[in-house]
Amino acid sequence: MRNRTNRLKLMEGAVGMALGEPSILDDLAQGLDRPFYSPAEVAALAGVSSSTILNYIHAGRVAAVQLSERTYRIPRKAVLRLLGADRTAPSMVEEPTQSPEP
């Protein structure tokens, strides 16, 4: 349990620094090595309360597997999506060289 707590603290720090930095988000994605996470673990990574994560689940903003009446597990991919680690950088769109004709 101590090892998991230390790993979560390291990831939590990375998330805090990661907003907008793709290389740190890639490191975070590699650090998430388990297939499923509890709402409390995801909350610690996202910097929100576990109640917020449960609200996201109920609202359909975060995918989760319901194991029992009160127990959920969140897939790794849903965690990455929530944290923004699976986003690709926006691509540059060329501006038109001619103005459109009326």
Residue-wise pLDDT tens digits, 34-82: 999 999 999 999 999 999 999 999 999 999 999 999 999 999 999 999 9
Residue with token string 């998330």:
15
Residue with token string 């707590």:
5
Enter the pTM of the model.
Answer: 0.61
How far apart are alpha carbons 81 and 42 in whole angstroms? 11
Written as six digits, the tokens of 49 are 């309360």
Q: Which residues touch 77 (CB under 8 Å, ≥6 apart)?
A: 63, 86
> Helices 76-83 and 39-46: crossing angle, nearest 10°?
20
